[in-house]
Chains A and B, each alone.
Chain A
Amino acid sequence: ETGVTQTPRHLVMGMTNKKSLKCEQHLGHNAMYWYKQSAKKPLELMFVYNFKEQTENNSVPSRFSPECPNSSHLFLHLHTLQPEDSALYLCASSQELAGGLGGELFFGEGSRLTVL
């Protein structure tokens, strides 16, 4: 138990569906992240939020829409996805952003997304 909870753990959706992934952290951290992990590719950073403000959008297509209503919750809204978007989506949090003192990332177990 890392203190970061992701739901759902598995999601199958059609290309015309709209769904959302949810992440919640109980660690009092200030930074939250979405990563995408596809087969045989390095983890890809998608979005970063620090104190609820987005600090990074790593050229992610607009069919992925993040939302951070408070420092404990992070959502990833999905719409009109493509089959190549099928992947493991990982949420993480850290006390501060990586720079300077840095610190470790705490990951959730991930949401396995399959787009048909």
Chain B
Amino acid sequence: SQQGEEDPQALSIQEGENATMNCSYKTSINNLQWYRQNSGRGLVHLILIRSNEREKHSGRLRVTLDTSKKSSSLLITASRAADTASYFCATDDNYGQNFVFGPGTRLSVLP
């Protein structure tokens, strides 16, 4: 069964603005990850946050995790046109064996 569910499904912003995407999941996890996918390409790992962590930064990316609410957010600051892509959250599944992806948020950054 699907673990992660991103929100919103699509987001359109102007260059320079911040973009926030959310991910909710259903059962307890060991870690949560965010990936990016340019159209028709493979996914690229952005950041991993473990269940005992609350916040993590990587460059212009900031990820938070709230295990009590079973949710995570990805913030991209000072967005650029090159950030236009789909963003997915992934969690380990109920058995801790495999990665399960949500449907993704499609981000468009307008120049």
Chain A contacts to B: CB under 8 angstroms: 2, 4, 6, 33, 35, 40-43, 45, 48, 55-56, 88, 90, 92, 94, 97-100, 102-110, 112
Contact = CB atoms under 8 A, between A and B. Distances in A.
Interface in B59-110: 88, 90, 92-93, 95-104
Nearest to A6: B42
16 contacts: A33-B99, A42-B2, A43-B43, A43-B88, A43-B101, A45-B98, A56-B97, A88-B40, A97-B98, A98-B97, A99-B30, A99-B95, A102-B30, A104-B45, A104-B48, A105-B45
B91 to A, nearest CB: 8
Given A42-B2, A102-B31, A109-B41, A48 B97 contact: yes
Interface of B: 2, 30-31, 33, 35, 40-45, 48, 88, 90, 92-93, 95-104
